[in-house]
Amino acid sequence: MTTLTDLPFQILELIASNLSEFTIKSFSLVSKKCRAVSEPEIFRTIKITYSEFDFNMLEELSKSPLAAYVKILHYDVSELFDPVIQDWDYFTSCVYTPQEYAKDYTDFCWNLRGNGFAYKAIYTYFQRLIADQQAIMEERKDIHAFMESLPRLIDLKCIKLSFTGEHENQLLWFSNRLFVDSWHSFAVHFEAVLRGMISAKWNGLTIQSLEIHGMPFRSAHESSNILEIAEQGLALVRNFKLVNSPGLLDLMSAVTLPCLQRFEITDCWLLGSKLIRFLEAHDGIVQHVEFYRINLFYERFTPGTRSSSCARTFWELVTETGNTVKVESLVITPI
């Protein structure tokens, strides 16, 4: 009787490529043969967060044969916490008083599905997160992990940086009281990724695509060294995508992207003038521009006489009605 493991290797590969993330992990446990065909799919995309455990895992993975399967690195980060919150007296008097806890518990208990948190447990949870973040920051273990690991991921094609601010779901209602400045947090994470990309470039590896999700805040690159680092880290990027990240347009307009071919921006509100400046900054370089689900405000602004055909085409298409326009889908290919 023919069993699953008797099937040709190519058929098993086809099966593995069509399984869900959860199912393929179970499939890989059936036999050594199933494990062999599953590994390229399981490790095609790896996801890490801002934690010592994940950075150590990334370094160990990059040293193993499994590194050859990694094509997408998803770095899911949140805002950094203010370290002063670790002090118990400060926490109870200035950050989150017992009286606030009592009120919040009453207001939110219906949403906790019966799994409430003790006051001390909330403090302990965030204290541990902050301690982990501080340990990383003191030695910049994030930068070290990216600089050491990315050159070893020889088939890495894309880095996805998600600035989600996600924490344990049942504590989301509380965590936003503890964050430091959003741009500072993003700059820390972005710098680590950029330095990793620079290290990869020095070792002959080209990372073609970069996606940034969830950075809607206005950047402050003029007060940091992020501009210089971005110039080096993004020098070989061909595909660049911003999802709900209009705050980065100013930064990207000031960065030279000599290899950029495709630019995509989706799911955000933004000023038309900022988008025009980005297109003009990369005139003659970008070959394909896509807009999806954007709400565009356009003020009194007109592209200059030397503006690119891409910028002029875009402006003509979106300035026909009103002061705002919703663009569901628009593709521009400069001539």
What's this model's pTM, rounded to 2 decimal places?
0.83
In the Cβ-directed half-sphere of 335, how many Cα atoms lie within 13 Å? 4
Question: Is residue 265 over pLDDT 70?
Answer: yes
Q: Which of 39-53, 220-234, 318-332: highest mean pLDDT?
A: 39-53
What DSSP element (H or E) covers 239?
strand 239-243
DSSP line for 156-201? --EEEEEE-----GGGHHHHTTSB--HHHHHHHHHHHHHHHHHHHH
CB contact set of 148 (below 8 Å; sequence gap of 6+): 59, 62, 199
Amino acid at 57: M
Token pair 């999806």 in the structure block, residue: 292
Spatial strand order of the sheet with 239-243 comes to 45-49, 72-77, 158-163, 209-213, 239-243, 262-271, 288-297, 324-332
pLDDT tens digits along 59-105: 999 999 999 999 999 999 877 887 888 888 888 888 788 888 887 77
User: Angle, to 10 degrees, between the axis of helix 272-281 and the axis of helix 309-318?
Assistant: 160
Question: What is d(CA 209, CA 289) in angstroms, rounded to the nearest whole number?
Answer: 14
* More confident call, 43 vs 114: 43
The residues, ordered by sequence, that sit 6+ positions from 172 with a Cβ below 8 Å of its Cβ are 166
**Whole-number pLDDT of residue 157:** 96
- CB–CB of 136/50 below 8 Å? yes
Beta bridge mates, 289: 263, 332
The span from the CA of 86 to the CA of 84, in Å, is: 5
* Higher-confidence position of 315 and 198: 198
**Which tokens belong to 234?**
């993004």
Residue 186 tokens, joined: 């993003």
Could you give the count of Cα atoms lying within 13 Å of 155 in the half-sphere of its Cβ?
12
Write down the residue that tokens 């779901």 correspond to.
169
Output the CA–CA distances (angstroms, integers) from residue 268 to 166, 288, 327, in the order listed. Answer: 19, 19, 10
In the chain, % of residues over pLDDT 70: 76
Lowest mean pLDDT among 33-42, 92-101, 102-111, 309-318: 309-318
pLDDT in tens, 191-249: 999 999 999 999 999 999 999 998 765 554 454 578 889 999 999 999 999 998 888 88
Q: What is the mean pLDDT of the chain?
A: 80
Kindly list the domain boundaries of the chain, sorted by start residue: 1-42
| pLDDT tens digits along 241-251 | 999 888 888 88
Residue 327 has pLDDT above 90, yes or no: no
Who's near 238: CB < 8 A, 6+ residues apart? Answer: 208, 209, 259, 260, 261, 262
The three-class DSSP label of residue 333 is coil
Task: Read off φ and ψ for residue 108, nearest 5 degrees.
Answer: -110, -5
